[in-house]
Each structure stands twice: as structure tokens, then as C-alpha cells.
């Protein structure tokens, strides 16, 4: 059965963004402390970009991750072709130039040159990028790690305390210094409150690849490992109100959502991923995603579940944490 919700495009629902603004490259500064500005008509900062290497690319996903320099600063640029929207089809068919490539019997292929506004590429910029960013986006072999509760205390925790990505961007969102206009729902309550907004991987043009994140207001919960039954009200609040807000804004019912946490996350400030069921979001596989519904039930039956449980997750070959597991003879 056709999924009518999935076919729905978003016309000013959940976004007030102009095409220029959406096209705008994000130059939010991860570690440099600034970079919270939201100038809608940005100049083409990418004209200065000097490519050093292609970190990875995918013909299937139609994206490319590039390492290079922007005004002498290390940068990672991600370019991604955006999905074709049903509401743009008439304009696409009427307004494009078509050149025949081949014709054979009932088959023919063409090159279609779409009008510029229908031919956008989503560009994400990380600048200045750290070496860790470069590694994050580099295609790498992965290894599954088995982490006991003790391993977490003796190997993982000391490592992430020293080596994890800055969560300045998260604080900027919570303090409304960045992306404030994108907030879909917020609960200001300090203990159970959170902010729900589009993940920056989502261009918000169609619900097919809906991707939002709920960021907890509490700042001292690093990951799944820190959760106990004490956090159930927070998790239940995020689950319930997050689903309601998505239903209201995007008309997508809970039965169409995959709501989960990553372990390991990249950013150690508690957040929950809301993606559309059927959209294979990066990191939604069983080796990394933990359904929020399961997390809640596990904590209901054992408050220390995530303290004591052995957790499995993939790490990339050059991840420093993998090195620590190897040194400890755990791999
Ligand atoms: P994660 O599980 O910590 O890491 O999720 P992952 O990136 O390896 O999945 C963090 C989520 O936050 C990811 O889905 C990111 O795409 C998203 N994200 C990261 N940054 C830096 C931003 C940002 O600046 N704004 C928004 N809206 N989302 C972000």
C-alpha cells in the first residue's frame, strides 16, 4: 500500500526556510567557540575551498565527503543530492531541457537538465574541523566491540572524558544561540525538558527521510551508560511529547517513527533520534541503535541495566577508543 504520509512534501510545515537558506552551507563552528550566526544569504564560502582528499563517496547515496582547507583552516565538506519531490514534478517536466542519450525499442534514456531551483545540492561544512572529524567521515573498516560495565568504567569513560567532540553546538541550541528558528517543540522544564528540532542531515523538504533530534536539557547525561530509572520521567517525556509534536507538525503517527539512541554516540550529551520508519538513516542498524521504547522498559525492570550490561557497538579501524580496547586485550 502506498504510504501517503511518506509522499507528502513539506510546504512551510516545520520550516520557514527559503531555498537560499536551505542551500546555505552550514559553517557552525565546532571548537572555535563562534559560528552561531544564521545569515540567510551567505556568500559562497565554498569558492575558497581547496580539496585535499575525498574521504568517502557513494554513487548509491549520491554524496561525497571531502577534506580540504577553507581560508587555511581544516574543513570537511559534505555534498549530497537531495531527493526529487513529488510536488516539483510538474515544474521538472515542464521546465527542463532534455537530451537523448540512447533509444532502443521501447527504451530510451535522457539527460535532463532541471531548472536550478530543482537541482539543489545540500552542502554541510565543518570548519575548523578536527582530526577526529576527518576520521569520522573517512570510509573505514569497522570492528564490533564488546564493552562490559567494567570496560566502560576503565576504558571508555576515561577516553571519552579526554577525547570526545565538543558539544558546543548542543549548548548553542539549548541556549537559543543557534537554530532557534528551527525548533519544532520545546519543553523548558530543567529536569525532564528537551528541545526537538530537525537533525542537520535532513533538508526538511519531504517527510520520506524525516530526521529530528530531541536534546535533553540536563547536561550531565553523557549516553545510555549514564541512564538509570531516575531518568525515566525524562525519557518518557521525550518519547511521548516528541511523538505528539511530530504528529502535529508533520502528520506522521508514532507507528511510522523509529525513535532511538546511539551507543556509542558521537556527541556525549543525551539526545534521541526520531527518524521515519523505512528511511535507512545512517546509524540506524542494530549494532548502534537502541530503541527508546526498549531503553525505557529495560530501565523499568532494572534501574542499573545500562550500568552492568555488556553493550556491543562498531568502532572504526582508526578510532582511538578501538586502540584502547586493543591495548587492554579486549579485542
Ligand atoms: P550522534 O549519535 O551523537 O552521532 O548523533 P552521529 O553523528 O554519529 O549519528 C548526533 C546527531 O546530531 C546526528 O544525527 C547529527 O547529524 C546531528 N547533528 C550534529 N551536529 C553538529 C548538528 C548541528 O549542528 N545541528 C543539528 N541540528 N544537528 C546536528
Q: How far is CA 300 from CA 65, 115, 188, 295, in A?
A: 41, 54, 25, 9
- The CA distance from 83 to 71, in Å, is 31
In the prediction, which pLDDT does 42 show? 77
Residue 8: band (very low, low, confident or very high) from pLDDT cuts 50, 70, 90? low
Counting runs of H as helices and runs of E as strands, what totals does the chain give? 11, 14
DSSP 87-151: GGHHHHHHH-EEEEEEEETTEEEEEEE--GGGS-EEEEEESSPPHHHHHHHS---EEEEEE-HHH
Collect all residues with Cβ–Cβ distance below 8 Å to 211 and sequence separation of at least 6: 198, 199, 201, 202, 273, 274, 275, 276, 279, 281
Residues of the chain above pLDDT 90, percent: 84
- E strand or H helix that includes residue 194: strand 194-198
Residues of the chain above pLDDT 70, percent: 88
CB of 192 within 8 A of CB of 237? yes
Residue 271 marked ligand-binding: yes
Residue 11: band (very low, low, confident or very high) from pLDDT cuts 50, 70, 90? low
Residue 4: band (very low, low, confident or very high) from pLDDT cuts 50, 70, 90? very low
14 vs 174, more confident:
174
Residue nearest to atom 24 of ligand 1 (CA): 169
Q: Structural domain boundaries of the chain?
A: 88-118, 140-327
Predicted model pTM: 0.85
Asked whether residue 77 carries a pLDDT value surpassing 80, the answer given is yes
Q: CA angle 255-257-261, nearest 5°?
A: 135
- E strand or H helix that includes residue 4: helix 4-7
Residue 54 marked ligand-binding: no
Ligand 1, residue 288: give the atom nearest the CA: 2
Ligand 1, residue 264: give the atom nearest the CA: 2
Residue 113 marked ligand-binding: no
Cross-strand bridge partners of residue 73: 70
Ligand 1 interacting residues, C-beta cut-off 6 A = 28, 169, 179, 197, 199-201, 213, 262, 265-267, 283
Give the class (CATH, top level) of 140-327: alpha beta
Collect all residues with Cβ–Cβ distance below 8 Å to 55 and sequence separation of at least 6: 65, 66, 67, 76, 134, 137, 138, 139
The model's pLDDT over 207-249, given as tens digits with 9 standing for 90+, comes to: 999 999 999 999 999 999 999 999 999 999 999 999 999 999 9
Residue 199 marked ligand-binding: yes
- The CA distance from 24 to 20, in Å, is 6
Cα torsion through 204, 206, 207, 209, rounded to 10: -80
Q: How far is the CA of 316 from the centre of ligand 1 (A)?
A: 18
Q: From 75, 213, 268, 283, give the residue whose CB has the most ligand 1 atoms within 8 Å, as the site to mutate.
A: 213
The least confident of 34-43, 82-91, 186-195, 257-266 is: 34-43
Q: From 31, 170, 182, 200, give the residue whose CB has the most ligand 1 atoms within 8 Å, as the site to mutate.
A: 200
- Cell numbers placing 259: 525513535
Q: How far is the CA of 200 from the centre of ligand 1 (A)?
A: 7
Residues annotated as part of the active site: 271
Helical spans, DSSP H, in 202-291 = 232-250
Amino acid at each position: 500500500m502506498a504510504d501517503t504520509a511518506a509522499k507528502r512534501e513539506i510546504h512551510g510545515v516545520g520550516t520557514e526556510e527559503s531555498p537560499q537558506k536551505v542551500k546555505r552551507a552550514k559553517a557552525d563552528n565546532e571548537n572555535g567557540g563562534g559560528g552561531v550566526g544564521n545569515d540567510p544569504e551567505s556568500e559562497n564560502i565554498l569558492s575558497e575551498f581547496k580539496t585535499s582528499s575525498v574521504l568517502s563517496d557513494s554513487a548509491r547515496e549520491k554524496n561525497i565527503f571531502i577534506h580540504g582547507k577553507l581560508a587555511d583552516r581544516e574543513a570537511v565538506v559534505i555534498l549530497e543530492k537531495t531527493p526529487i519531490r513529488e510536488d516539483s514534478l510538474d515544474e521538472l517536466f515542464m521546465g527542463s531541457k532534455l537530451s537523448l542519450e540512447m533509444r532502443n525499442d521501447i527504451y530510451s534514456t535522457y539527460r535532463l537538465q532541471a531548472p536550478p531551483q530543482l537541482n539543489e545540492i545540500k552542502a554541510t561544512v565543518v570548519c575548523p574541523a578536527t582530526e577526529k572529524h576527518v576520521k569520522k567521515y573517512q570510509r573505514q573498516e569497522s570492528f564490533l566491540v564488546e564493552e562490559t560495565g567494567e570496560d566502560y568504567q576503565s576504558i571508555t569513560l576515561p577516553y571519552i572524558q579526554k577525547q570526545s567532540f565538543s558539544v558546543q553546538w548542543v549548548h548553542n541550541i539549548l541556549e537559543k544561540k543557534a537554530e532557534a528558528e528551527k525548533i519544532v517543540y520545546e519543553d523548558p522544564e530543567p529536569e525532564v525538558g528537551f528541545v526537538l528540532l530537525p537533525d542537520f542531515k535532513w533538508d526538511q523538504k519531504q517527510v520520506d527521510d524525516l530526521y529530528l533530534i530531541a536534546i535533553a536539557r540536563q547536561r550531565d547525561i553523557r549516553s545510555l551508560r549514564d541512564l538509570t530509572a531516575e531518568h525515566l520521567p525524562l525519557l518518557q517525556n521525550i518519547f511521548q511529547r516528541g511523538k505528539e509534536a511530530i504528529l502535529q507538525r508533520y502528520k506522521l503517527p508514532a507507528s511510522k517513527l523509529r525513535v532511538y539512541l546511539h551507543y556509542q554516540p558521537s556527541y556525549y550529551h543525551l539526545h534521541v533520534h526520531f527518524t521515519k520508519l523505512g528511511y535507512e538513516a545512517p546509524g540506524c542498524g542494530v549494532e548502534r541503535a537502541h530503541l527508546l521504547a526498549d531503553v525505557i522498559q529495560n530501565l523499568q525492570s532494572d534501574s542499573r541495566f545500562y550500568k552492568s550490561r555488556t553493550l556491543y557497538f562498531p568502532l572504526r579501524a582508526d578510532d582511538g577508543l578501538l586502540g584502547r580496547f586493543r591495548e587492554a586485550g579486549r579485542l
